[in-house]
Chains A and B, each alone.
Chain A
Amino acid sequence: MRLRLSYDDRSAAILVLPVLAVLLVVAAYPILYSFWVSLHDIVLTRPLRRPFVWFENYERMLGDARFHTAVLRTTVYTVVTVTVTTALAVGVALFLNESFRGNKLLNALLLLPWATPSIVNGLMWKWIYDPTYGLMNALLVKLGLLDSYRAWLGDPDLTLFLISNAAIWKQMPLAALLLLVTMKAIPDDLYRAAKVDGATVFQRFVHVTLPALRPGLMLVLVYETMISIRHFDLFLIMTQGGPGDASYTLSWLIYVETFRSLRFGTGAALSYLLAMLTFLLSWLFIRFLGERNP
């Protein structure tokens, strides 16, 4: 059967072609080439050898204790960051959905943390946590909650949560706005009908707001998970994976393998593993939240 294209189809194809060509060069080729790299044992400091090793890099990384640690740390970090960000965002969106004086100003102010560059955010929180002149120590000591200054980021039990806190501070505003937009689209009739039926505030939230929020929640969960699972800048600025291996996440491991050990083969393999994990989680969110979308 011959494919017959209309004039419009042909015109559209011709107009799309330049963009497609650019995408092939800047996106498709690097993605495919990095997969090819992941099948080689490439160490930049040994430029005279680059054997093809099939999936050995993947095998080696999957059996590496550092990888297991990194997966655990990434999971904890992602679960904490996404859960708290989403919960706070729902609360903030509910609050901003109400009509009150100064609502618009608050909406604008809410965007400030989100608009702060990641590097600035990382440095700001690093200073806040600083063991000698940090605001957090000063505040807690003044309030009598702490006897003396502590090295917060030097405590391996707290590090991950403190970094997560910095991430939540930056990411929550966008999540709140996304949910607010969804909330604004909920027809008032639903709330009025629920009130007539005698539903309490909590019942209206559970039976009206939450189901209607599902598309927004799915978007927030997918977006925040993808951001958190690949988070790197805060780890670079605040702890460099430490202390010890306390903040050794997958992104950090990829950085170490690729740019410190200069092992491009295993670095690329790890990147693919991370990408697969991200796709899998996104797919799960879409499948379980998306299909039941009313």
Chain B
Amino acid sequence: MQEASRRGVLQGLVAAAMGVPGMAAAQAAGKVNFIGWSAAVDQIKAHIAAFERDTGVPVNYENFPFAQFRTALVTRLVGNAPIDVAWISDAWLPEFVEAGWLADIEDMPNLKRYGSETAAYCNQSMTYKGKQYGLSYYGDHMSFMYNTEVLQKAGIAAPPTTWDEVVEQCLKIKAAGIMEYPLLLSLGADTWLIEFVSALTFSFGGSFVDDKGDSVMGAPGGGAVAAAKWLHEAIHKHKILAPGAVETVELNGLRAFGSGAHAFTIEPTYRIRSLNDPAQATAHGKIRLALMPKGGPRGTHDTCGWIRFYGLTPAAKADRARRERAVKFIEYFGGRDTKGNYSLQEMLLLDVGLPSCALPLAEDAEVKTFWTRWAGGGAIVAEQAMKARKKDVISPWFGEWVESSNQAWQSVCLGRATPEAALAGLGTKWNELKRAFR
């Protein structure tokens, strides 16, 4: 009893500090309480206005920077904040489901019907233990990008198809005196690092865990170790990648690549729009996509894909009125609007460059024009999307493990640990957390 009351006091304090009174008032006024991170805010606000107009359901919208979003959302959920719908990263799904913070949509035919119109990896990424937990906000994957002007200057006819060719072409560019570090990888320890190293590992035919979820990341000769070795050699042996890459976070990497100072990079596909936008990048019009290069004898063109989706809270599902409002909201935002169009997904792609999980949009004329304008065509994007795999390390302990992962990969890049030792240690950490979760 004492325990419960103490927890109650804490929950109350957390909730009060987090602005829950405002959300509670919004809920009492029949609003949908929706939380997202500070991305595409103008588009979301415009769509909220359209939703309110079309359905008559008001929305209370709040957003936080992505870097703090998980912590902000968790503290609100712990404080029993009356959230109805939230943007969720696929990486948090198992953790949030196990914590009892997400409700499945299996018994909601209005939402489930979108499964047949959604890319397979998106559906998989919203599914945990056989149940689906929302509709997609967007789905994307890591893409290999190159600067056509640099390749032309170096007399290179076609972009590389393997990581060995990446090294060869980089050395050729260096030898021509065009630039010191032709390859740019953002290996700073931010939230993107796991996506970068997953893409690299998958392209080396590797994985972090096996089908049972046990660690194989440290296996000698495995894809993860091979990818780590390649990274280490790119920095220390070939010197085609700057040692300062460990200081470069994704956004800074994007700016540097957009300035035309590098020939090759890996970036989320949606960045292609800003990279080819004259208002945002010096190298605009010169950036193109190629399939992820293959690494080693077991290499593939596979890459890492991810999605963000609209998740429903159990409290919203349990209350009939809240549930009805929330389902309408999720369908309007993650599915089709009241006119039957994927209007938000289309707007997000055209305005911001965010690719959609909705398959019918691929045939949309405006979408085709978009890819032609910003990426020189949509064929590579579509082909790469088919080879996108979700992160195999997504688990209830992902949030705890990923910090160690970032450190281990950085240690390899810095030459402070051998790939074998760093990844073996990382595997041990994985197994410890997995054991502790039982």
Chain B residue with the shortest CB-CB distance to A248: B407
State whether the Cβ of B246 lies closer than 8 Å to any Cβ in chain A. Answer: yes
- Among B94-102, B208-216, B310-318, the stretch in contact with A: B94-102
A238–B8 Cα gap in the complex (Å)? 37
- By a CB distance below 8 angstroms, the chain A residues around B256 are 132
Q: How large is the interface on A (under 10, 10 to 19, 20 to 34, 35 or more residues)?
A: 20 to 34
Confirm or deny: A94 has a beta carbon within 8 angstroms of a beta carbon on chain B. no
Contact of B243 among A132, A154, A256 (CB under 8 A): A154
CA gap between A153 and B189 in the complex, in Å = 13
Contact of A262 among B74, B190, B242 (CB under 8 A): B74
The answer to whether A243 and B410 touch (CB under 8 A), given A45-B95, A154-B243, is: yes
Report B151-209 residues with CB < 8 Å from chain A CB.
180, 188-190
Complex CA distance for A246 and B407, rounded to whole angstroms: 10
Q: Are B71 and A242 closer than 8 Å at their CB atoms? A: no
Out of B244, B246, B396, name the residue touching A45 (CB < 8 Å): B396
Chain A residues near B242 (CB, 8 Å)?
131, 151, 154
Q: Are B407 and A244 in contact (CB-based, < 8 A)? A: yes
Q: Is the CB of A47 within 8 A of B400?
A: no
Q: In whole angstroms, what is the CA distance A156 to B246 when docked?
A: 10
Given contacts A48-B100, A244-B414, contact A256 B396 (CB under 8 A): no
Q: How far is the CB of A129 from chain B (nearest CB, A)?
A: 9
B247 interface residue per 8 A CB criterion: yes
B101-125 residues at the A interface, CB under 8 angstroms: none
A242 contacts across to B, CB distance below 8 A: 188-189, 246-247, 406-407, 410
Asked if A245 CB lies within 8 Å of chain B CBs, one says yes
Asked whether, in the complex, the Cβ of B414 is within 8 Å of the Cβ of A243, the reply is: yes
Q: A48 vs B416: C-alpha distance in the bound complex, in angstroms?
A: 39
A45 close to B189 (CB less than 8 A): no
Interface size bracket, B side: 20 to 34
Give the most central of A151, A241, A243, A259: most B CB within 10 Å.
Answer: A243
| CB <8 Å contact, A156 and B98 | no
* Bound Cα distance from A261 to B400, whole angstroms: 5
Distance of A256 from chain B, by nearest CB (Å):
6
Residue of B nearest to A159 (CB): B247
Are B99 and A45 touching (Cβ within 8 A)?
A: yes
A243: which of B78, B100, B247 is its contact (CB, 8 Å)? Answer: B247
Q: How far is the CA of A261 from the CA of B432 in the complex (A)?
A: 15
Judge whether A150 is part of the interface by a CB distance below 8 angstroms. yes
Q: Which residue of B lies closest to A151 (CB)?
A: B244
Query: Which of A45, A132, A244 is the one whose CB lies under 8 Å from B96?
Result: A45
- Taking a contact as CB atoms under 8 Å apart, the answer to whether A47 and B100 are in contact is yes
B245 within 8 A of A: yes
Which residues in chain B, 383-416, are within 8 Å of chain A measured between CB atoms?
396, 399-400, 403, 406-407, 410-411, 413-414, 416
Q: Which of A47, A155, A239, A245 contacts B99 (CB 8 A)?
A: A47
Q: Which residue in B71, B95, B247 is a CB contact (below 8 Å) of A153?
A: B247
Closest CB-CB distance, A92 to chain B, in whole Å?
Answer: 32
The reply to whether A131 and B247 form a contact with Cβ atoms under 8 Å apart is yes
Question: At the interface, yes or no: A2 with Cβ under 8 Å from chain B?
Answer: no
Contact pick for B416, options A46, A244, A262, CB 8 Å: A244
Q: Does B127 contact A (CB under 8 A)?
A: no
A44 touches B74 (CB 8 A): yes
B contact face: mostly helix, strand, loop, or mixed: helix
Task: Report Cα–Cα, A134/B81, bound state, in Å.
Answer: 44
By secondary structure, the A interface counts as: loop
Query: A45 with B410: in contact, given A154-B247, A260-B399 (CB under 8 Å)?
Result: no
CB-based nearest B residue for A155 = B243
Q: Indicate with 1 or 0, residue by residue over A259-291, a CB within 8 angstroms of chain B CB atoms.
A: 111110000000000000000000000000000
Question: Which of B71, B100, B189 lies in contact with A259, CB distance below 8 A?
Answer: B71
Verify if A148 is at the interface (C-beta below 8 Å from B). yes
In the complex, B27 has a CB within 8 A of chain A: no
Chain B's nearest CB lies how many Å from the CB of A147?
Answer: 11
Q: Take A244-B414, A262-B71 as given contacts and tell me if A151 and B99 are in contact as well, using a CB distance cutoff of 8 Å.
A: no
Task: Say whether B282 faces chain A, with CB atoms less than 8 Å apart.
Answer: no
B75 at the binding interface (Cβ < 8 Å): yes
From 36 to 54 in chain A, residues with beta carbon under 8 angstroms from any chain B beta carbon are 43-48
Nearest Cβ on chain A to B429's Cβ, whole angstroms: 10
In the assembled complex, the CB of A45 is this many whole angstroms from the nearest CB of chain B, namely 5
A246 to B188, CA, bound (A): 13
Q: B237-268, CB under 8 A of A: which get 1 and which 0?
A: 00000111111000000001000000000000
Are the C-beta atoms of B247 and A245 separated by less than 8 Å? no
CB neighbours of B396 from chain A (8 A): 45
CB of B116 to closest CB in A, whole Å: 32
User: How long is the Cα–Cα vector from A131 to B74 in the complex, in angstroms?
Assistant: 35
> Which of A148, A154, A263 makes the CB contact (< 8 A) with B246?
A154
The distance in angstroms between the C-alpha atoms of A47 and B75, with both chains bound, is: 11
B residues near A209, Cβ cutoff 8 Å: none
Interface string of B316-360 (1 = CB under 8 A from A): 000000000000000000000000000000000000000000000
- Tell me, in angstroms, the Cα distance from A46 to B403 when the chains sit together: 18
**B197 → chain A, closest Cβ, in Å?**
14
Q: State in angstroms the CA–CA spacing of A248 and B188 once bound together.
A: 15
Query: Using a CB–CB distance below 8 Å, which chain B residues touch chain A?
Result: 71, 74-75, 78, 95-96, 98-100, 180, 188-190, 242-247, 256, 396, 399-400, 403, 406-407, 410-411, 413-414, 416-417
Interface CB pairs A-B, < 8 A, 15:
A44-B78, A45-B99, A46-B98, A47-B99, A131-B242, A131-B244, A240-B189, A242-B247, A243-B247, A243-B413, A244-B407, A244-B411, A244-B417, A245-B411, A260-B399
- What 7 pairs across the A-B complex have the smallest Cβ distances? A151-B244, A154-B247, A154-B244, A243-B246, A244-B410, A244-B411, A261-B400
